[in-house]
Structure 1
């Protein structure tokens, strides 16, 4: 290959820029040009791209978000638009594509591969919900953002002797809630992967009050319910008044952590290697500290699993 392309799709995550940088510089090291596709699959369809050289990706490793911008493109699900995009890429001399994003982005990459256009997926999402990899780009940064926020909320909860519910992102995965709850010492954690027991949550709050504890922190993943809904249940069932903080999109922003920058570098470089080896329909990931690649189909045939041993531990440590 003499020229490849890179795009970011779906929700942004800290470290996407570092991954773009890694793709460009790894490819350039091997004498391969890289076209940056703007606005995800929307730009792929319309051929919105420009050549990225070494200088164009300088000074972006520390920046959150994505320099290529991102969007959700429902029309890309249709064959007509996929073929239109492939035609635009071939006209520009592009022979392969690196897609940085989540499962929706992966589905697009898989469809392109089936149509004969080599594509490789790089996991970029704060949700950490891509099967086949233990960690995704952006998860660590989002996790640290959430923990820092909970620490500040606890200061207020302690000062006013209140119980707080903190709603975090993650779609249908509970990794952010689980890891952040354990790291911040939350009294209760609600995740989609485990049935919650409202009586247990109430009992934990009441047990804390009985031992003269004046505040509680409850973390709820958005895939379970809204924080305000949980607050209403606690009020109606046990007359427990809580304050609710919805962290929202603050979790997606910010300078990527060192871990996410390194992970982005490893993943971006690996994706280029896969394409240059003449392979496609692959995704890159990490297991047991080793970066590897696997069939994109596995990202859909398997289901993401949260580490429930952490859930058990959090309950034991928050007595």
Structure 2
């Protein structure tokens, strides 16, 4: 038996397993591995240990297939081939690719372009893509040149009776799905669990998490939002997902120093520069991990005040943490409050 503890921390979300079985129990299996430059973890309840090896293999195969489609780091991925071509003719893509781009365009429109999957040239310019980190801060001309190659209006999903196509009307348009890839893969793992006849599970890829059913103690799955510090055990809030997906975007871990300044990995498509506002963490709960993963990025780009307005307008379940002086101040929407576990 073990006491309540944090078993995993991914991008600001800590996964809790309540008192009960350990990882070798026949009632609760824990599997984990690596994908998309991050880690995945699957916990299932009520599944015999004899299935663990086969499940682990099926999970890794599914994630490897997703990575082969969505990666910008692999030159032979489906997405990389689309980015490499200068053709503006429609390119055939899988239903998976069409689905994630369609969702990204939808959220991008609702955030007035703050969540922009065509921001790849700027991501690369600032050293957060496959390209190396810059030696010096990019100048205005470099930023404007990269911005000229971006814009959601230049990317289109075409649906037909014989398949789906992706089309760009800028030859150099570069699509980066890393902002939503983790959520997409997490939803894929959930579907895999259902296909395997497993109804009680907690799955995560990077900072995206989704649960169904209950854990081995017949308790709801719980996750915790980490405080924006380097102490992995510092918990800001705990939630019960109730069959939803959750994702956190934060500016306090993925950064580097350049010319004496801290450079955040969150790029504002409007300015072409890393964000400099006081919002340090945005967590969203949504029906799917893909939706949560898209919304949290858009909110992070917007900053505290604009993010709060957008959350209230669209009735999102969101939790924001901002830095005010030496303190961190949190804010949650009424929809998010419904998921929060009240202190004992």
TM-score, normalised relative to structure 1: 0.25
> Relative contact order: is structure 1 or structure 2 higher (C-alpha 8 Å, sep ≥ 6)?
1
Structure with a larger share of its residues in helix: 1
Structure with a larger share of its residues in strand: 2
Select the structure of larger CA radius of gyration.
Answer: 1
